[in-house]
Chain A
Amino acid sequence: MADETPDDAADTPGDEPREALLAELSELLGDAVVETHLQPGQNLWLRVDPARWQDTARVLQRASFDYFGFLSAVDWSVAPEGRYEDTEFDGGLEPEDGSAEGSDDTEPTEPEAPSSYAGGDTRFQLLLHLHSHTRHEAVIIKADVPEDTGAVDTLRDIFPGADWHERETHEMFGISFNGHPQLTAIYLPTEFEGHPLRKDYPLLARTVKPWPGVVDIEEIPEHLEAELEAQVMAEFEASGGGE
């Protein structure tokens, strides 16, 4: 299908190969699909019902999406301790000359709703990326992890490669996978408590001491910026436009 041209060629608004793929998958999966999102020229997202997680994987594998990319999760809450060098929690830096230095950038933007692509209702959302090497297409499947059980079915019997990815997702987020025989830690030592990639798991370096580094971008004063840029471009053109 997309053999002779890379997908970029069809990135006019209206990505035909992906739209056709979307139609085909929606038909195959039927009512398991909750929401979809197509980013032209980039990717295709499908959000499915978590109760039909295994079915989806089987259907997709039969539809030639048999290459297992990865399986992971996203935690859509906001980290309580802030994220930047000058958020209050860390003790921040003094602005150098007292002037407002990009102060409008210091407020972390809260995610408007869990998942900007293909929606989502719960705190945790699973991500699954599958490839088809015969059709040269890929699809990203999302599913909300149910709040009450915090568990979905395992994909291990369909894609053996999911074994380790599910173990990692479990230890990092705390999501359980029904039917997985051995959900032990894969990265962390056995005595480790907690699930690190959850947003409420503190990053110790930030709680222990303030951010030690300096701002890595120094602002050029605005009135000089245009002048300097013109100068640089003139030199560039004069030297022959590079080698």
Chain B
Amino acid sequence: MTATSDREQMAYVASQAADARVNVELDTGDMTLNIGPQHPATHGTLRIACQLDGEQVILAEPMMGYMHRGYEKLCEVRTYPQCTTLINRIDWLGSFANEVPFILAAEQLMEVEAPPRAQWIRTILFELSRIANLSLFLGDMGVQIGALTPVFFAFRDRERVLNQIEEVTGGRFHPNFDRIGGLKDDIPKGWVEETHAVMTKMRTFCDEMEDLLVGNEIFQTRCRGVGVIPQDVALSYGLSGANLRASGVDWDLRRDANPGLAWDQVDWRVWTHPDGDSFARYWVRLQETREATHIVDKLLDGIPSGPIMAKVPRIIKIPAGEAYVSTENPLGEMGYYIVSTGDLGPFRVKIRTPSFNNISIVPWVMKGVYVPDVITILGSLYFILGDIDR
């Protein structure tokens, strides 16, 4: 480019040519807007290149990889217990839930079954991390729409759940507590009663959110009918979790493909919503949070006694084989495909993260929506960058 060309135009073009190629034709009439990678609404470093016509989106293409840490490659050079430290950090809001499918897959390959007490406590911690994760969403969706206050309540009440997780595992965000064959430690004395109290408070919190946001007319106007995803599209894209259930698909891995944890020991229900719009996704997650508090309450009352860890050798070598286990994580279906060749560590780990599939629907769902709706839809699809990028 010569220096004599129009500096303004050069600067404009240069500012458009970004790190990765954008699959939009730079038409002179439309405007390309980058939402992200630094943006308060993208839950991290996600970049969405939108081609706008006024305020309407013609094309939206998400670009990720700003946080790609190469977990699958890293897991290949670690032993199984070392892998869990990495895996904790995939979905950093649902702390304990990340480890569970990996440990279950490893246990499947080893043909080891954790004792019932460990299974129950695993389930309780799993549901606690679901509550922690989803309660943040409940407040955060308000922020995306513009209501600044509910998120503070969400953070305040979420602290209680994180305190409970910390009391058992020692870590609020990255517990690293699950072991092949059981858990690292037993629950401390008095934890059961405290957790009962915390669950009651979380139910109050859910009621507050319902009052503040679900009943708010403006919230409903902003969310109803925005980002409708029909059932067949949701299935073919592989959406999971509340996104799928909000489109009317009655599918919950806890009930339909139980990998051995204690969900079948208590009564609980799966919440679906037929609409498939952003409001449905919010509503389903609200009900799920409440349901999770009920599950925890019921499970706490019936923890069986016994050992917390099965007999596994000190140095774990998993026999050759392949296994895939997926569980209903707070964000959706998370699964680990472990290929083992009889080593101390895995040969290959494929991490199936829910947000990767959830965000792949963005180009489809964003056609023709307004810019504010982009934020609403992104907020309602609810992803975590660590989950997309691994």
Contacts and interface: CB of A to CB of B under 8 A. Distances in A.
Interface of A: 6-8, 39, 42-43, 45, 66-70, 72, 74-75, 79, 83-84, 102, 105, 108-112, 115-117, 127, 129, 133, 136, 138, 140, 158-161, 163-165, 172, 182, 184-190, 196-197, 201, 203, 206, 216-217, 219-220, 233, 236, 240-243
A72 B337 contact: yes
Nearest to A108: B343
A216 B81 contact: yes
A185 B117 CA distance: 45
B19 A190 contact: yes
Interface in B331-380: 333, 335, 337, 339, 341-345, 347-348, 350, 352, 356-357, 360-361, 364
Nearest to B258: A6
A115 B232 CA distance: 33
B302 to A, nearest CB: 12
Nearest to B342: A109
Contacts of B29: none
Contact of A116 (B303, B322, B361, B364): B322
A46 B271 CA distance: 33
A196 B65 CA distance: 14
B321 A164 contact: no
Interface residues of B, number: 69
Contact of A42 (B76, B320, B323): B323
Nearest to A199: B76
A219 B314 contact: yes
A189 B360 contact: no
B315 interface: yes
A108 B70 CA distance: 22
A127 B335 CA distance: 13
A222 B89 CA distance: 35
B149 interface: no
19 contacts: A6-B256, A42-B323, A43-B324, A68-B238, A69-B238, A70-B337, A72-B350, A117-B322, A133-B235, A136-B256, A165-B356, A172-B72, A184-B21, A185-B65, A197-B72, A203-B73, A206-B77, A216-B81, A241-B305
A111 to B, nearest CB: 4
A66 B256 contact: no
Interface in B176-195: 186-187, 189, 192
B101 to A, nearest CB: 13
B257 A7 contact: yes
Given A70-B335, A74-B339, A160-B236, A187 B324 contact: no
A74 B364 CA distance: 29
Contacts of B364: 160
B257 A138 contact: yes
Ranked 4 nearest A-B pairs via Cβ: A187-B65, A68-B238, A161-B237, A6-B258
B161 interface: no
Contact of B68 (A165, A187, A241, A242): A187
B215 interface: no
Contacts of A117: 321-322
